[in-house]
Amino acid sequence: MKYSLVNRDDRISIELTDQFRELAAQLGMTEDRESPDVVLSIGGDGTLLHAFHLFIDKLDEISFVGIHTGHLGFFADWKPDEIELLAKLMSGPKKGYERRIVKYPLAEMQIHTKSGTEVHYALNEFTVKGAEATLVARLDINDETFEMFRGDGICISTPAGSTAYNKSLGGAIIHPSLETIQIAEIASINNRVFRTLGSSIILPRHHHCDIYPKTHQKIQLFIDHLQVVHDDIQSIRCRVADKRVSFARFRPFPFWTRVKEAFINSDKPQP
């Protein structure tokens, strides 16, 4: 088994990285930064997002695993004191544990500018904002004008990202087995002149949406934790990507349990 490590570059993550390397060598695993089978992210969800974008061109060949060094993460669900067990499970089958690959849908964004088209993939979401002023844009769904948006921005999230920025915007939480993208508004201006739907919208795999920013607007785009600024965008097409991301699971951790543990904390005594 070939593995690669990505860490948050803080003291605990670096120590865990060294510890994993030692364990892996004892268990006969090889470190391969170019073409690993598994990428182990040590840090938090942000570290896993970083690892995802580092290996974006190899998504068909690799799966991800995450150890969290802070609070329980959505992607990073192994605790630091489980590193030895995780190394053993990664090195081969172990009685009582079953290795499964879970695949999650991604969002695809095609940015059309005068000079060409850029394609990006997000594990959590794309966010489109005005860089210097309020975003003014037309939103089309399946090539038909849907609404004129004026406000802080538009967030297009994956099901895995529905628990991230999308949740703060009042969007629905979507199970990652559903191949969808969700469009959520960020502080839209609604009055007698400007009107948007106000609710978030969930599109299935065979639908797409296009965002047409008003011409000459400087647009700030976030692709998960990454940021790019453009001032010549003609349109942005968003849809469910053909690519998917794989996570290696060695024990069950149902999505709704993760949601409950992250946001409700059921361990607290009930009234």
Q: Is 46 in the site for ligand NAD (CB under 6 A)?
A: yes
Q: List the helix and strand counts (H, then E) for the chain.
A: 5, 15
Q: Is 45 in the site for ligand NAD (CB under 6 A)?
A: yes
Query: How big, in percent rounded to 5, are the helix, strand and coil portions of the chain?
Result: 20, 40, 35
Nearer to ligand NAD, 163 or 180 (CB): 163
Contact pick of 8, 23, 44, 67 for ligand NAD (by CB under 6 A):
44
CA distance 58 to 88: 24
Q: Is 35 in the site for ligand NAD (CB under 6 A)?
A: no
Number of residues that bind ligand NAD (CB under 6 A): 16
**Residue 211: strand pairing partners:** 139, 236
Q: Tell me the closest approach of the beta carbon of residue 114 to ligand NAD, in angstroms.
A: 29
Q: What are phi and psi of 256, to 5 degrees?
A: -70, -25
| Token pair belonging to 111 | 């940015």
- Amino acid type, 198: G
Q: Tell me the closest approach of the beta carbon of residue 91 to ligand NAD, in angstroms.
A: 28
Q: What are phi and psi of 95, to 5 degrees?
A: -60, 135
Binding residues for NAD(+): 45-46, 50, 124-125, 150, 152, 160, 163-168, 187
Q: Is 159 in the site for ligand NAD (CB under 6 A)?
A: no
Contact pick of 7, 38, 66, 73 for ligand NAD (by CB under 6 A):
73
224 is catalytic: no
CA distance 40 to 246: 12
- Residues 201-230: x/- map of binding to ligand NAD (CB under 6 A)? -----------------------xx-----
CA dihedral 199, 122, 208, 144 (to 10 degrees): 60
Catalytic residue among 45, 77, 210, 224: 45
CA distance 139 to 187: 15
Active site residues per annotation: 45
Contacts with ligand NAD by CB under 6 A lie at 44-46, 49, 73-74, 124-125, 160-161, 163-165, 168, 224-225
